[in-house]
Amino acid sequence: MYEFAIAWDWLSFAARWLHVITAIAWIGSSFYFIALDLGLRQREGMPEGAHGEEWQVHGGGFYHIQKYLVAPAEMPEHLTWFKWESYVTWLSGFALLCIVYYAGADLYLVDPAVLDISAPVAILISIASIAFGWIAYDFLCKAFLGRSDTFLMVFLYGVLVAMAWGYTQVFTGRASFVHLGAFTATIMSANVFMVIIPNQKIVVADLIAGRKPDPKYGKIAKQRSTHNNYLTLPVIFLMLSNHYPLAFATEYNWVIASLVFLMGVTIRHWFNTRHARKGSPTWTWIATVVLFIIIMWLSTVPKILTGEQEEMAAAVPPAFERFASNVHFPAAKDVVLSRCSMCHAKEPVWEGIVAAPKGVLLENDGEIAAHAMEIYLQAGRSHAMPPANITQIQPEERKMLVAWFESAVSPKEEQNK
């Protein structure tokens, strides 16, 4: 059975690797085309229907690019579509959500001290909330169609703030940030799948049929593409946040997440303005730094738990009872407390560590039992922890951690020894 834990960890790695690769491809093409669009210039003698052009140099050659605001007079022989990087990014991201947060719901998704719900209920809330995000966003875009884009963005920001708060009232802090990222990324990918590509296909079909395409389809697609452009940087922050408990495991984590969206806007505004050759608005960087300083300050506000929440956090979850009742647990617990808990604590005593890495606490039976598989993989099967073996964990201690986990997941094998 313990072989499954190793295989599952590698499966998680494979899904994460695929997710990162496709995300790089999607973000790269998205940023490139926004920059290209903003840098287009008009000149006399351009082909009919051409909106602008740009000369670029890369890889030892020159590129001459022209954009047609609606479509060229005739359908070109070769047409390159940019869509699969978006689709595979979302699919691999959802697979990772299933592998880490759904399969490990008792550990990563549900926090009884936040909301005492079962794993199946939490998973249903997760899926429903992500679907709600696209439905609500699409409805608002259509309701505001032809009106103020600025007012629409402000309204959508209000929805994101509400979701940031809502997620922290249901899930663990780590899961809340990842879900807010998934909520936003689903909107972005659905924009491509449900609006941008279908609209482009309508234009292509009109060209093939000899009809003049309606410019509204390009306008709508451009609006959704612009939204994606401003949402990208916050999504990256949220997806990386699981490595930084000062972001997700603090008292005002939902406020931090909300401010991150504003930083995404200020940073992208600077780049977009520069690409459009409309100046260099340095105020955006000043605003970004101020927002980041506020975020840093908010992360220092101590998280206050009630007595009941403290007791629930210390209790051993039923799903991990076998690890706390295992015959090897007392010895394994001694190893963890002597070699790991000086960093993995509410108030780390190791110099330079201000918060438990990844928010993992290992100070009591409940916390140690709940993180049994991570301890097994990080400090038993591998030497990833402690970093550089800074606490000098001994080989026999690592063997004890391995014996503890493997005998708990394969008790029959232990009895046969």
Q: Tell me: the pLDDT tens digits for 212-250?
A: 888 888 888 888 988 999 999 999 999 999 888 889 888
**pLDDT tens-digit readout, 28-47:** 998 888 888 888 888 888 88
Please give the span between the terminal C-alpha atoms of the chain, in angstroms, as a whole number: 16
Place of tokens 């940023």: 31
Residue 356 has pLDDT above 60, yes or no: yes
Predicted pLDDT at 417: 47
The C-alpha atoms of residue 53 and residue 70 are separated, in whole angstroms, by: 14
The C-alpha atoms of residue 320 and residue 370 are separated, in whole angstroms, by: 6
Three-class secondary structure of residue 385 per DSSP? coil
The C-alpha atoms of residue 404 and residue 119 are separated, in whole angstroms, by: 25
Percentage of the chain beyond pLDDT 70 is 95
**Whole-Å CA distances, 318 to 112, 247, 300, 322:** 12, 29, 33, 8
The C-alpha atoms of residue 333 and residue 339 are separated, in whole angstroms, by: 10
Residue 225 neighbours by CB under 8 Å, 6+ apart: 30, 33, 34, 191, 196
**pLDDT tens-digit readout, 244-258:** 888 988 889 999 999
Average pLDDT, the chain: 88
Predicted pLDDT at 353: 82
Q: Which long-range contacts (CB under 8 A, 24 or more apart) does 196-200 make?
A: 196/221, 196/224, 196/225, 197/81, 197/83, 200/81
Report the number of secondary-structure helices (H) and strands (E) in the chain. 17, 2
Residue 312 has pLDDT above 80, yes or no: no
Residue 18 neighbours by CB under 8 Å, 6+ apart: 88, 92
**pLDDT tens-digit readout, 255-305:** 999 999 999 999 999 999 998 889 999 999 999 999 999 999 998 887 766
Residue 127 CB neighbour total at 10 angstroms: 14
Q: Is there a contact between 182 and 202 (Cβ–Cβ < 8 Å)?
A: no
The C-alpha atoms of residue 257 and residue 176 are separated, in whole angstroms, by: 10
H or E segment at 143?
helix 119-143
Predicted pLDDT at 322: 87
Q: Is there a contact between 26 and 89 (Cβ–Cβ < 8 Å)?
A: yes
**pLDDT tens-digit readout, 49-94:** 788 888 888 888 998 888 887 777 777 778 888 899 999 999 999 9
Mean pLDDT of 365-375: 89
Predicted pLDDT at 305: 62
The C-alpha atoms of residue 243 and residue 411 are separated, in whole angstroms, by: 33
Handedness of CA 138, 140, 146, 151 (dihedral sign): negative
The C-alpha atoms of residue 303 and residue 220 are separated, in whole angstroms, by: 44
Predicted pLDDT at 388: 84
- Radius of gyration for the alpha carbons in the chain, expressed in angstroms and rounded: 26
